[in-house]
Structure formats: structure tokens, C-alpha cells
Amino acid sequence: MRWIGTEGGPLILIAEAALAAWRGSVSANGRSDYDRACEVDDYVGVIATGTGDALVLGDEPLDTSWITDERGGGQLVRWVYADCKDAVRRHVKDLEDELFTSSGIRFLAQQPTHYLLDAAVEGSGIAAADHLTIDLVCGEYLVETCKYQPDSRTSLLVHRLKLVRSTERFPRGES
């Protein structure tokens, strides 16, 4: 698992096609894209970008990783506290469906390649920024959240992107 963090603001999951329009903390007309991302006052939210939507990981800035699942989605794992990366990896394997609750948020992946990065970073500067590249099946995702504390030494916040409708003609692995 590779982890990324921020300098104090939210992370965003944004499509590759929307990167060029993402201005990060650069202000246009007194309000930046970063400002809009900071307005998300829950664990997760969606804001409009030039060519679609960006998923915002709000609340507090937590180191975050991505785990792909075999159903076409995956989990954004946010580290609240834990002894080590191995403990996190071990605990994440034990997550059961019943632990997740729907946030009511839907996220549309209009293309497969997305980037998870600090919302303050300008899209054109992603090459130099710490980020994760995440491949998604094109389609609509339901975002579900789990506050997971498997023991007194580990606490995680996990957002599952659950594919509810694929828009790909042939989902990956089929032909």
C-alpha cells in the first residue's frame, strides 16, 4: 500500500481529463478550486470540475491509500492511527459489508484514469506532486463509509466506491 497526504487540506479524486482545468489554490475571481474543496464539511463530498466531478475527502487531512477490489471499485483507506502499515493492511482485509453505511453520495467516473492528490495542487503540476493513480471502471459509484476500529491501537476511515452501474461496453476482463 502506498500512502499520500496533504499539507493540511482535503484530498481529491479527479479524472485525468479534468486535471488541466483544476487550479488548486490559485485564485480566480477571489475563490479557488481548493476553497471549493474545503467547503465539503463531511467525510466525503462531490464538487463540479470543468469536465465532470471530483470526489473530495473532507473532514481532517489523513494519509490515504487505495485498494482495488475485484468488483470494479475499491476502497480509499484513511489512516487515523495505527502502529504500522502492516497492521493497517492486515485489518483492512477483515472489513465486512455490514460495517459500511451509505453516504448517499454518487460519483460518476466518465473515464478510467483518476488521480488522488492534494486539492491545493494545480492540475498542471501533478507530475511533481505526491499522488496516486487510480483506475476505475467507467460508471456510477455509490460511496459508502466505515469508521473502523478493530482494536484499541488502530483506527481507520474507509470510503468504499461501489460500482452500481457500468457505462463501459465491455467491463475489464470481458470481451
Span 64-90, pLDDT tens digits: 999 998 777 899 999 999 999 888 988
pLDDT tens digits, one per residue of 32-73: 999 999 999 999 999 998 788 999 999 888 999 999 987 778
Asked if the structure places residue 102 within a domain, the reply is: yes
Domain that holds residue 23: 11-166
Asked if the structure places residue 137 within a domain, the reply is: yes
Q: What is the pLDDT of residue 93?
A: 81
Asked if the structure places residue 172 within a domain, the reply is: no
Residue 34 near residue 122 (C-beta atoms within 8 A):
no
d(CA 52, CA 44): 17
The count of domains in the chain is: 1
pLDDT tens digits, one per residue of 110-163: 999 999 999 999 998 887 778 999 999 999 999 999 999 999 999 999 999 999
Model confidence at 169, in pLDDT bands (50, 70, 90)? Answer: low
Does residue 86 come out as left (phi exceeding 0), alpha (psi in the -120 to 50 range) or beta? alpha
pLDDT over 60 at 172, yes or no: no
